[in-house]
Amino acid sequence: MTDWPSVGVVIPTHDRPQQMRAALRSVLTQFYPGDLEVIVVYDRAKPDEEVASDGKRPVRVVKNDRTPGLAGARNTGITGLETDLVAFLDDDDEWLPGKLAAQVTALGTEAELCTTAIEVDYRGRRNPRLAQKTMVRHVDLLRSRMMMLHSSTFLFRRSALLGGLGLVAEDAPGSQNEDWDMLLRASRRRPIAHVDVPYALVNWAGSHFETRWDTKISSLRWILDRHPEIHGVPDGAARVYGQIACWHAAIGDRKEALRWALRATKANPGEPRAAVAAAAAAGIVGVPAVMAALHRRGRGI
């Protein structure tokens, strides 16, 4: 590639000063021949002006001036950039060497969004998560969230975000599952280009969202309302129903947990989340303990 497009990186941050600086450093040390700039968006926090810098790879700090939360912070960054491409990076994750150049090359001229595989870090244990494909289609994301397509790997054409694709959904409850919504919207328009190499290190310990069970429930129901075609794909529907069942079990709502577990089983008799939810509702296991065991293997409920 001779003409490298300009890239703007949006890093939303909230109360993670040390991790955010590590995330920022992982961007600034990328080998990338084109223009690169970073905008750090402080969400419900006072911007740290010491982070800002000029030079060949400028770093700007701004305050989230849209809806409080991750989605609004990302959109503040998007609308504050004028680059050809826009990339996301969460403040507790890091890009690995070679990520940006490989991804810009894979984006090509047709795709509007490109992702990469990830390496999950959970309390010092690392596990790669691969998609086993280089192109992701809409039906793939109806069958599964494909968690290896993490938002910290997203690279968009800015023209798409400000055009037909649109910005991040700020009405997503608690700014959860807004990333899956974006993947579904993007893949409905065009296949998503994917680099199946773990180019992002994703931290699963200490997430702001890990145990917000009520928000997990409402955000998944929001997804089902927004993308009703999920109901027509048995494996994908059962997965979501099973997750909702688990989160109801986590808050002690046994009746709803069993109702959603039954719905998951009807959609797919082999759905394992239904069994987990039923066991949790009966007090045999705890959802947090199951999550921790899965996280150690780079997996989730």
Q: Are residues 224 and 190 part of one domain?
A: no
Residue ending a domain, among 138, 172, 203, is: 203
15 falls within a domain: yes
pLDDT, tens digit, for every residue of 54-83? 989 999 999 999 999 999 999 999 999 999
Q: Are residues 154 and 59 part of one domain?
A: yes
Q: Are residues 219 and 183 part of one domain?
A: no
For residue 122, count other CB atoms closer than 10 A to its CB: 19
pLDDT, tens digit, for every residue of 279-290? 999 999 989 899
Q: Are residues 161 and 219 part of one domain?
A: no
Q: Are residues 199 and 224 part of one domain?
A: no
Determine the Cα–Cα distance for residues 225 and 301; give it in Å rounded to an integer. 21
177 falls within a domain: yes
Beta strand segments in the chain, E: 7-13, 36-42, 59-63, 85-88, 94-95, 113-122, 125-129, 135-136, 155-157, 192-203
Q: Are residues 257 and 142 part of one domain?
A: no
- The CATH number assigned to the domain holding 91 equals 3.90.550.10
Length of the chain measured in residues: 301
164 falls within a domain: yes
Which residues are within 8 A (CB) of 258 and not within 5 positions of it... i.e. 6 or more apart?
A: 245, 277, 278, 281
Residue with the bigger pLDDT between 299 and 233: it is 233
Q: Are residues 187 and 235 part of one domain?
A: no
Q: Are residues 259 and 227 part of one domain?
A: yes
Task: Give the helix/strand (H/E) hosting 27.
Answer: helix 17-28
First-to-last CA distance in the chain? 40
Q: How many structural domains is the chain composed of? A: 2
Q: Which two tokens stand for residue 248?
A: 């109801």
User: Which of 93, 189, 180 lies closest to 145, judged by CA?
Assistant: 180
79 falls within a domain: yes
Q: Which two tokens stand for residue 55?
A: 């030079």
Residue ending a domain, among 153, 184, 203, is: 203
Residue ending a domain, among 203, 223, 244, is: 203
pTM greater than 0.75 (yes/no)? yes
Average model confidence (pLDDT) across the chain? 95
DSSP state of 96: P
Determine the Cα–Cα distance for residues 54 and 44; give it in Å rounded to an integer. 25
1 falls within a domain: no
Determine the Cα–Cα distance for residues 113 and 122; give it in Å rounded to an integer. 27
Structural domain including 185 reads 7-203
Say yes or no to pLDDT of 208 above 60: no
252 falls within a domain: yes
pLDDT of residue 2: 65
Which residues are within 8 A (CB) of 289 and not within 5 positions of it... i.e. 6 or more apart?
A: none
CA torsion sign for 118, 217, 238, 114 is: negative
Torsion angle of the four alpha carbons 292, 296, 297, 301, in this order, in degrees rounded to the nearest 10: 20
Say yes or no to pLDDT of 155 above 90: yes
Whole-number percent of the chain with pLDDT over 90: 86
Average of per-residue pLDDT across 17-36: 97
Q: Which two tokens stand for residue 44?
A: 């419900």
pLDDT of residue 298: 85
Say yes or no to pLDDT of 291 above 90: no
Task: Give the helix/strand (H/E) hosting 187.
Answer: helix 178-189
Q: Are residues 272 and 180 part of one domain?
A: no
Which residues are within 8 A (CB) of 225 and not within 5 positions of it... i.e. 6 or more apart?
A: none
276 and 242 Cβ atoms separated by less than 8 Å: yes
208 falls within a domain: no
Q: Are residues 127 and 241 part of one domain?
A: no
Q: Are residues 176 and 35 part of one domain?
A: yes
pLDDT of residue 124: 87
Q: What angle do CA 53, 29, 115 make, to 5 degrees?
A: 110
Torsion angle of the four alpha carbons 168, 174, 179, 182, in this order, in degrees rounded to the nearest 10: -40
pLDDT of residue 292: 85
- Which residues are 122's β-sheet partners? 125
46 falls within a domain: yes
Separation in Å, CA 206 to CA 81, 103, 243, 251: 29, 28, 20, 19
Q: Are residues 199 and 217 part of one domain?
A: no
pLDDT of residue 294: 86
